[in-house]
């Protein structure tokens, strides 16, 4: 089995005391492992999750009760994003890092509360709004600490393969004329790729818009990670789990600890 690359262990010796970090989808997968590592280095991490019960289980699993805090966030509802920001800014006066990690992948057709196709709505639009609303405190924190804040987006290599039916360009692009798939047959894979392309473009634009002394923006592809993200691709049954084990053994799939390494690297470097 191939050995995945991991961060230099010296990066995990840094003391992050005082840092405040938001991670969406921190109750499972790479979000959970990212949170586990950052809190072990004394950072305070806000678990921005939809399910409070699952967030509480995750916080108990992590163990650093004085470093992990839950605030409700439902990415399928833009009102929830605004409520999250209101709650966060009422409790904290700094934000060092925003990690837009949560997502859904290749799910059946559905819409968000505001009527957007679920994948573009949850993966991109909600995260975009979250970033926009939190940018002032990210910049303020950078000015007060003298160190740039960070905006980290978990995208996917699927962005480069975005090929929406009916589009004529050979380059990846977003179909703004039918963002909600109301005029063409729904393609779960293309819809996911489109949302991940939007993630990448947002991070890229942020890196151009803000001075690197105030904000460092980056997107990443974590690899094919063993998590519940693939529940609509591989069945959660005996045969599906055997298939996952085969992919792990072959090195085509990696575990969540290895999957979190790129996110963690972008935090430190």
Tens-digit pLDDT profile for residues 4-47:
678 888 999 999 999 999 999 999 989 999 999 999 999 999 99
Between 60 and 189, the higher pLDDT residue: 60
Residues noted as catalytic: 192
Tens-digit pLDDT profile for residues 154-171:
987 655 565 666 555 666
Which pLDDT score is estimated for 135?
A: 98
Q: What's CA 142's distance to the chain center, in Å?
A: 22
H or E, element range at 220: strand 215-220
On whether the CB atoms of residues 34 and 101 are closer than 8 A, the answer is yes
Looking at the chain, the whole-number percentage of residues with pLDDT higher than 90 is 63
- Cα separation, 169 vs 90, in Å, equals 46
- Cα separation, 247 vs 184, in Å, equals 34
Looking at the chain, the whole-number percentage of residues with pLDDT higher than 70 is 81
Name which of 170-179, 216-225, 241-250 the model is least confident about.
241-250
- Cα separation, 247 vs 242, in Å, equals 9
- Cα separation, 187 vs 198, in Å, equals 17
Tens-digit pLDDT profile for residues 180-206:
999 989 988 889 888 999 999 999 999
Tens-digit pLDDT profile for residues 208-241:
999 999 999 999 987 666 556 555 455 566 555 6
Between 41 and 65, the higher pLDDT residue: 41
List of residues 6+ apart from 179 with CB closer than 8 A: 116, 117, 120
Q: What is the pTM of this model?
A: 0.87
Which of 57, 87, 59 is closest to 71 using CA atoms? 87
On whether the CB atoms of residues 255 and 225 are closer than 8 A, the answer is yes
Which pLDDT score is estimated for 188?
A: 86
């Amino acid at each position: 089995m191939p050995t995945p690359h991991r961060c230099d262990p010296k990066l995990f010796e840094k003391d992050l005391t005082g840092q405040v970090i938001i991670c969406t989808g921190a109750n499972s997968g790479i979000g959970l492992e990212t949170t586990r590592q950052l809190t072990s280095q004394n950072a305070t991490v806000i678990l921005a999750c939809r399910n409070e019960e699952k967030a509480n289980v995750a916080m108990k699993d992590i163990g650093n009760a004085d470093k992990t805090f839950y605030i409700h966030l439902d990415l399928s509802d833009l009102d929830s994003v605004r409520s999250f920001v209101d709650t966060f800014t009422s409790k904290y006066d700094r934000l060092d890092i925003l990690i837009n990690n949560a997502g859904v992948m290749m799910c059946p057709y559905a819409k968000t509360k505001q009527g957007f196709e679920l994948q573009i709505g949850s993966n991109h639009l909600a995260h975009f709004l979250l970033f926009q609303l939190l940018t002032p405190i990210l910049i303020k924190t950078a000015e007060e600490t003298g160190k740039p804040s960070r905006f980290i987006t978990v995208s996917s290599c699927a962005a480069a393969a975005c090929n929406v039916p009916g589009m004529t360009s050979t380059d990846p692009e977003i179909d703004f004329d039918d963002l909600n798939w109301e005029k063409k047959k729904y393609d779960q894979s293309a819809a996911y790729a489109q949302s991940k392309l939007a993630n990448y473009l947002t991070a890229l634009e942020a890196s151009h818009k803000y001075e690197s002394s105030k904000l460092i923006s980056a997107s990443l592809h974590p690899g094919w990670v063993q998590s519940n993200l693939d529940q609509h691709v591989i069945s959660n049954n005996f045969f599906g789990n055997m298939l996952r084990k085969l992919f792990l053994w072959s090195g085509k799939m990696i575990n969540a600890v290895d999957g979190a390494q790129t996110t963690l690297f972008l935090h430190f470097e």
